[in-house]
Structure 1
Amino acid sequence: MTRRHAILLGPLLLFLAAAYLIPFLGVMRWSFTLPEPGVQNYRAVLADPLVQSVLWRTLRICALVTVITVAAAYMLSLIWVRSGPVGRLLVELCILIPFWISVLTRAFGWLAMLSNRGLVNTWLQGLGIIEWPLVLVRNEFGVIVGMVHFLIPFAVFPIAASMRNVDERVLMAARSFGASRTRIFWQIFVPMTRPGILGAALLVFVFALGFFITPAILGGGRSVMVAELIYLRLFQSPDWGLAAALSVVLMVGVGALIAMLLRQFGERTTPR
């Protein structure tokens, strides 16, 4: 890095340090000093059954959301990149319109759709498919639906960018050697788009770990995730030390996960 680059990056680094690093160090200090100095808050994170259940639930929901979101985004990206003008326009509308609607509005929209007297249960009962309403909200199912709906647009962009970088000559060569469309897709096209899949999965998983509004509304307090638990420990049952410890563990875990995945797959997915 030249001196000119260092001068240009200096203000940005100072801003990031002031906006992120200093507050994070303050939260870390709380985790070791509140309510009294020591590591009791981290012991609670490792041993408290309530905290452990919330952490495992968060990881389970985030993993399911990541798999479903990336799969749905891959199909949307494939239509977006490979279809004609009409198909591209429809996909673009499906991707861009959700950005104009706030996460709170979307969460309440799903609540109206999936509640006991919502549109889904009303239609199913009207068609005679079910006799009693299905429990679709205030549980993990409702949380997953709401999170997937919010995160799909974010996953589409890295996958679509990776698809656009696929060398069409490779696909044509495979077709000329007699490979079927299915074999070309699974053995050539999907591996060549692996960087986009990995990027989308990382983006979705990290976003999902910090979700608060959607699980709070669609989970109804029965599917508490770690972000909601931190909020509860800060404002409803004040335990700032445990909330700070949870925040530090979450931050360190996300950083370690990203570093591990990039180290594991970075060389394989780097275009040559």
Structure 2
Amino acid sequence: MKPALLFGPLVLFLCLAYFVPFLGVMQWSVTLPEPGVGQYVKAVSDPLIISVFIRTFRICLIVTILSIAAAYCIAYIWVRGTPMQRLAMEICILIPFWISILTRAFGWVALLTNRGLINTWLQQIGIISEPLTLVRNEFGVVLGMTHFLIPFAVFPIASAMRSLDERVLMAARGMGATRLRTFWAIFVPMTLPGVLGAGIIVFVFALGFFITPAILGGGRSVMIAELIYLRLFQSPDWGLGAAMSVILMLIVAGLLALMMRYARPKSMLR
């Protein structure tokens, strides 16, 4: 059987489930409330929308950096640690996938509120006298998003680490390089494709986050996905919401194109 026949049903499903509805959203963006590109002009000129885009990119960038840093450490132990360390890392990586994003968000609310476990514990041991504002702000949003996205960054980084040729590392050590120099001069540069791929994946996922910012941000750190929801279902301003959706999709498509061009996904999947 030809491979095209096997992929045909999947391609058809993706077209019906994603591409056709997206065409409808594109139609809304140039027809509502009247034909033209006025909604796109408003989307790129409205100070409120621009500020939300800037906040979204800032939060996504911070989340991506924190997720990659944590994922690199986890992936390193998972790939090169002892059997017990590898087992512990596998448990830490897989268990989060069994917990829904809504449960995680409310779990962080229980930890971070003024009467939450963290503030209560810090006050009881005398480190702080007044509760810290850890939720309903960008800090809570960044923390919740980072916690959710770390596992997604681990897999491409671990794949890049497993594809390394151990003989190169052994040659560096044989020529007198220390472990630290071998790590920074050989190991890290050779795993950069995996880091880049993980960074783009995390950033793209973060751009579309809705539940976590809505719950942990408390309406004070609105991101673009939440703003699109508000324009579509509460304003309602379907044309502007659709225009922002199309702009966001174009940004995501550009990032995916960068990943396909520079992250060498074939080598990441070996």
Which TM class, normalised by the smaller chain length? over 0.9
Take 1:270 and 1:219, find their aligned partners in 2: how far apart are those partners? Answer: 35
Take 2:255 and 2:159, find their aligned partners in 1: how far apart are those partners? Answer: 23
| Deviation at residue 266 of structure 1 after TM alignment | 4.4
Take 1:82 and 1:266, find their aligned partners in 2: how far apart are those partners? Answer: 23
Aligned to 2:186: 188
In the superposition, the TM-score normalised over structure 1's length comes to 0.94
Deviations 1:152-196 (A, max 9, x none): 111111111111111111101100100011111011001111121
Does 1:127 find its partner at 2:125?
yes
| Deviation at residue 124 of structure 1 after TM alignment | 1.1
Root-mean-square deviation over aligned CA pairs: 1.7
Deviations 1:9-55 (A, max 9, x none): 33332222212111111100000011111111111111111111110
Take 2:66 and 2:188, find their aligned partners in 1: how far apart are those partners? Answer: 16
> Which residue among 25, 28, 35 is the counterpart of 1:27?
25
Aligned to 2:136: 138
3-state SS in 1 of match to 2:253: helix
Deviations 1:129-166 (A, max 9, x none): 11111111100000000000000111111111111111
Take 1:27 and 1:75, find their aligned partners in 2: how far apart are those partners? Answer: 41
5+ residue gaps, structure 1, are none
**After the TM superposition, which residues 226-245 of structure 1 pair with which residues of structure 2 at under 5 Å, given as runs?**
226-245=224-243
What amino acid is aligned across from residue 146 of structure 2 in structure 1?
A: V
> Which residue among 172, 180, 201 is the counterpart of 1:174?
172
| CA separation of 1:264 and 1:154: change in aligned 2, threshold 3 A | closer
Deviations 1:68-126 (A, max 9, x none): 00110000001111111111111111111111111000000001111111111111111
Aligned to 1:201: 199
Aligned to 1:155: 153
What amino acid is aligned across from residue 91 of structure 2 in structure 1?
A: L
Does the 8 Å CA contact 2:193/2:262 hold for their aligned counterparts?
Answer: no
**After the TM superposition, which residues 68-107 of structure 1 pair with which residues of structure 2 at under 5 Å, given as runs?**
68-107=66-105
> Which residue among 208, 211, 214 is the counterpart of 2:209?
211
In the superposition, the TM-score normalised over structure 2's length comes to 0.95
3-state SS in 2 of match to 1:200: helix
> Which residue among 218, 221, 245 is the counterpart of 2:219?
221
Identity %: 67
Residues matched between the structures, number = 268
> Which residue among 114, 118, 125 is the counterpart of 1:116?
114
| Deviation at residue 265 of structure 1 after TM alignment | 5.3
> Which residue among 54, 57, 67 is the counterpart of 1:56?
54
Does the 8 Å CA contact 2:29/2:240 hold for their aligned counterparts?
Answer: yes
Take 1:68 and 1:4, find their aligned partners in 2: how far apart are those partners? Answer: 44
Take 2:89 and 2:96, find their aligned partners in 1: how far apart are those partners? Answer: 12
What amino acid is aligned across from residue 109 of structure 1 in structure 2?
A: G
Take 1:94 and 1:194, find their aligned partners in 2: how far apart are those partners? Answer: 23
Deviations 1:210-265 (A, max 9, x none): 00000000000000001100111111110111110011000001111222354355
Take 1:189 and 1:41, find their aligned partners in 2: how far apart are those partners? Answer: 48
Larger mean CA deviation between 216-225 and 130-139 belongs to 130-139
| CA separation of 1:82 and 1:264: change in aligned 2, threshold 3 A | closer
Take 2:13 and 2:110, find their aligned partners in 1: how far apart are those partners? Answer: 42
What amino acid is aligned across from residue 55 of structure 2 in structure 1?
A: R
